[in-house]
Amino acid sequence: MKESKPVWKSIYSHVTSPSTWMGYLSAVLMYLAYAFAGDAWLNPGLLGVSLFIGFCLPYYSKISNRVDEWFAFKTALVTPGRIGRFIIQLIFNLSVFFTFLATGVVRSEDAGALGGVWGIAMLTTAASQGIQYLAIALANREIGETNRNVAAGLSINILITAAAAAGLGWTRPAFIVVGIVFGVVVFGIGMASDWRGLFPRKGGIGVFFGTFNPIHNTHLAIVQRAIEERGLEKVIIHSTVIPKLHADALRNGEMILARRERGMRIYETTDKADVHVRYFPTGHRFYEFDTRKKMMEWAIAETGMSDGVDVLSLPEAYEKSGFYGILKEVRRRYPGKRIHGIHGSDLGGMWVRRIYDESGWITPFAIRRVDGVSATAIRDGAKGMASQAVERLLAAFAAEEESVRINGSLYDIQDGMLEEVTPTPEIEQEDHPLTFEETASTREEATQASSLMSNEDSEKLSIRVVETEDDRMKTFLVRGIVYMHGQQCPYREEFDRNDSSATQILGTVGEEPVLTARIRYFGGFVKFERLGIREEYRGKGYGHQLIQFMMEFAEKKGYRRFYLHAQTRLEEFYQQYGFKRVGDTFNFSDHGYIEMVAGGQGFASSTETEEWVGKEPLRLNRPEGSMEEEGPMEESLVRIESLNTKAHEESEKEKELVTR
């Protein structure tokens, strides 16, 4: 946590910031322009207004921006925000020129030539809107910063207005033309954009830009709604990489990467930072670009939109031209297609809207954000706002796990970055038995056999939770072959009372039982036991399929910590799935073993099954291993409904007979 500054130091920072110095410069220019034109060097009105401008211009530009942003957030339109900005600046300009007129800074005849105080105020406000629009457009293109650019624009407008109010040469007609043209252009562009969004032409391609830090349920809902309502062929999503504002600030020493926490970069400003610059408008904690991209891909796949949504990764184009460069690439890939710009009404969404409006005839798809879903809250640990895969990763970050399994793939975690771990065939072939010693010759034979087997053979394997006595007998049969015959393990050591409380796993090829395992449950972890594959079915990758099935099954039940006893020769195999060796080597049943642990501590912070409590109680009655399918209790509802229908029909028949 960054320490707060002493009051004196905070005041000093405000007084000496570059933005405040720009205010000083504007005040000096304003004073010189009006004093020279009207010989008002000691005029109290001019001195007072100039001092006010000098100290308050940065705050004035901030207030103008906040008003614009508030109206945009409430309406998801740009025109109300520009009207709000216009009104607040008009009020300020009226105050200035009434003061100037009352104190003689501006002569009444000069003011009358421009329509009086109201005329001057209206024209200077309209001209100011245009200059500020250009200032914000430059900031959107990562040239300068919004508040600082707006302050510079206001300074330029002050000089133009001063010259026109004093009647200096050609400046008066130029001022009138500029005010009218800028006012028409700025409000015209905004109204045209809002009109396109309210009455759109359908079809084409959608683009959705933002930080996605991380992607959450509202983002996904907006995309789905855009596809349905606009009839989009495809939606292209791209997130920010490192904004130029941050890159420049890091280079200039205005901000630093303070630390890494929960998978995020934590930025903080330094004493060199300009207190009037919004370095972190959407927060100061950021997941890595590649990690955000991965989360976006997972979330989109989870909602079933992968065919209609592409997640682009064009960091070089972004670094060069920001989102303007990404739009250029989208137009190149989809020539002639109508483009719809998707965005929310929050601060980041409306900034993106300005980019859409400045990039040609893009049709906005604006959604007013009122659902309370917040990326900031998610970063703080809130649950239920993002996809399961995203929340699983963030839980791994929070628990400082070294690896995480998502959608059947294992990822190593290093400084917030993910590296997918791909199981290697060489390791797999050493592991095939999972339970018996191989010689070099048997490994070579397994390798040769594996090379002759087709993918089709491997796909015949079916792994399931044991539900019937027939399945249970098959698991015991496999264990008898693998352990009792293959390892000469006594019956009393192989079969124990834990078989009654464990979840038994069976793998079959057709009707033939080929592999087995069991899972036992403890307070904060699960233990994998009795993994075995019949010798003639080794070398086909079944070991990988089995361990993946078991880990996914346990995760669905809410466990994220896995424990097992591995024969020492299999350590490398299990490492592929995030298992780490703990403790010393020990022996039982004539073999050497090691303890291995994977995952974080305890239970997952939020599971799908937990969400059913209080909402879908019948889902918790479903048989083990079939939680995604309707169970007997749910089917009973159909039976009861059928009986009720039959009883009703019989009752109606009886009434009919009585009537007759």
Write the DSSP string, 361-391. Answer: S-EEEEE---S---HHHHHTT--SSS-HHHH
Q: Are residues 123 and 206 in the same domain?
A: no
Higher pLDDT residue, 192 or 660? 192
Instruction: Determine the Cα–Cα distance for residues 343 and 51; give it in Å rounded to an integer.
Output: 41
- Establish if 614 belongs to a structural domain: no
178 or 241, which is more confident? 241
Is the per-residue pLDDT at 242 higher than 80? yes
Where does the pLDDT of residue 154 fall: very low under 50, low under 70, confident under 90, or very high at 90 and above? confident
Does residue 658 have a pLDDT over 70?
no
Q: Is the pLDDT of residue 443 over 80?
A: no
Instruction: Give the pLDDT band (50/70/90) at residue 453.
Output: very low
Which tens digit of pLDDT belongs to each residue from 410-431?
Answer: 888 999 999 988 655 433 433 3
Contact (Cβ atoms closer than 8 angstroms) between residue 608 and residue 616: no
Q: What is the mean pLDDT of the chain?
A: 83
**pLDDT at residue 341 is higher than 90:** yes
For residue 169, what pLDDT band results from cuts at 50, 70 and 90? low
DSSP string, 263-329: TEEEEEE-TTS-TTS-S-TT-SEEE-HHHHHHHHHHHHHHTT-TTTEEE---HHHHHHHTHHHHHHH
Confidence of residue 195 (pLDDT cuts 50, 70, 90): very high
If you average pLDDT over residues 334-343, what whole number do you get? 96
Last residue of one domain, picked from the residues 197, 227, 245: 197
> What gap in Å lies between CA 283 and CA 385, rounded to an integer?
18
User: Considering only 94-108, 393-407, 427-441, which range has the smallest mean pLDDT?
Assistant: 427-441
Q: Look at 613 and 514; give whichever has higher pLDDT.
A: 514
Is 115 part of any domain? yes
Bridge partners (DSSP) listed for residue 367: 344
What integer pLDDT is reported at residue 152 of this predicted model?
79
385 and 241 together in one domain: yes
pLDDT band at 442 (very low <50, low <70, confident <90, very high): very low
User: For position 450, what pLDDT does the model report?
Assistant: 40
- Domain-located, residue 624: no
Binned at pLDDT 50, 70 and 90, residue 356 comes out as very high
Residues 86 and 173 placed together within one structural domain of the fold: yes
d(CA 213, CA 210) in angstroms, rounded, equals 8
Asked whether the beta carbons of 343 and 355 are under 8 A apart, the reply is no
Q: Does one domain contain both 229 and 187?
A: no
Q: Judge whether 406 lies within some domain.
A: no
Considering the domain architecture, whether residues 148 and 218 belong to the same structural domain is answered as no
Same domain, 383 and 433: no
pLDDT at site 602: 46
Q: Would you give the distance in Å from CA 289 to the centre of its chain?
A: 10
Cα gap 392→302, rounded to integer Å: 13
The pLDDT of residue 498 is above 80? yes
Residue 451, CA atoms < 13 Å, CB-side half-sphere: 6
What pLDDT is stored for residue 643 in this prediction?
A: 60
pLDDT band at residue 613 using 50, 70 and 90 as cut-offs:
low
Asked whether residue 539 falls in the same domain as residue 563, the answer is yes
Kindly state whether residue 264 falls inside one of the protein's structural domains: yes
Structural domain range at position 647: 632-660
pLDDT value at 603 more than 80:
no
Structure confidence by residue, pLDDT tens digits, 280-337: 988 999 999 999 999 999 999 999 999 999 999 999 999 888 899 999 999 999 999 9
Question: Is residue 219 one of the residues assigned to a domain?
Answer: yes
Q: What is the pLDDT of residue 641?
A: 64
* Same-domain check for residues 207 and 110: no
- Evaluate if pTM is beyond 0.85: no
- Residue scoring higher pLDDT (583 or 464): 464
Quick check: 76 pLDDT over 60?
Answer: yes
| Confidence class for position 149, pLDDT limits 50, 70, 90 | confident
Dmax over Cα atoms in the chain, in whole Å?
113
Tokens of 383: 């649950």
Tell whether the model's pLDDT for residue 112 goes beyond 50: yes
Same domain assignment for residues 433 and 578:
yes
Locate tokens 């308050």: which residue? 56
Q: In whole angstroms, what is the distance from residue 610 CA to residue 266 CA?
A: 32
- Measure the CA–CA gap between 104 and 4, rounded to whole angstroms: 46
Ranges 146-150, 292-296, 492-496: which has the least confidence? 146-150
Residue 382: band (very low, low, confident or very high) from pLDDT cuts 50, 70, 90: confident
pLDDT (0 to 100) of residue 431? 38
Q: Could you give the CA distance from residue 520 to residue 525 in angstroms, rounded to a whole number? A: 9
Q: How many domains does the chain have?
A: 4
Residue 529 is assigned to a structural domain of this protein: yes
Residue scoring higher pLDDT (6 or 220): 220
Domain boundary among 197, 215, 243: 197
- The yes-or-no verdict on residue 437 having pLDDT over 50 is no
Place of tokens 């906040």: 66
Task: Give the domain CATH number at 513.
Answer: 3.40.630.30
pLDDT score of 436: 35
Q: Which of 146, 163, 197 is the C-terminal boundary of a domain? A: 197
Q: Beta-carbon neighbour count of residue 468 at 10 Å?
A: 9
Instruction: Tell me the pLDDT band of 578, cut-offs 50, 70 and 90.
Output: confident
pLDDT of residue 292: 97
State the pLDDT at residue 277: 86
In a domain, 61, yes or no: yes
487 and 346, same structural domain?
Answer: no
Pair (232, 169) in one structural domain: no
- Kindly state whether residues 190 and 209 are assigned to the same domain: no
CATH code assigned at 312: 3.40.50.620
* pLDDT at residue 164, rounded to an integer: 76
Token pair belonging to 361: 């005839």
* 137-146, 438-447, 499-508, 536-545: range with highest mean pLDDT: 499-508
**Whole-number pLDDT of residue 425:** 45
For the cut 90, the answer to whether the pLDDT of residue 238 exceeds it is: yes
Weakest-pLDDT range from 81-90, 265-274, 315-324, 591-600? 591-600
pLDDT for 427 equals 38
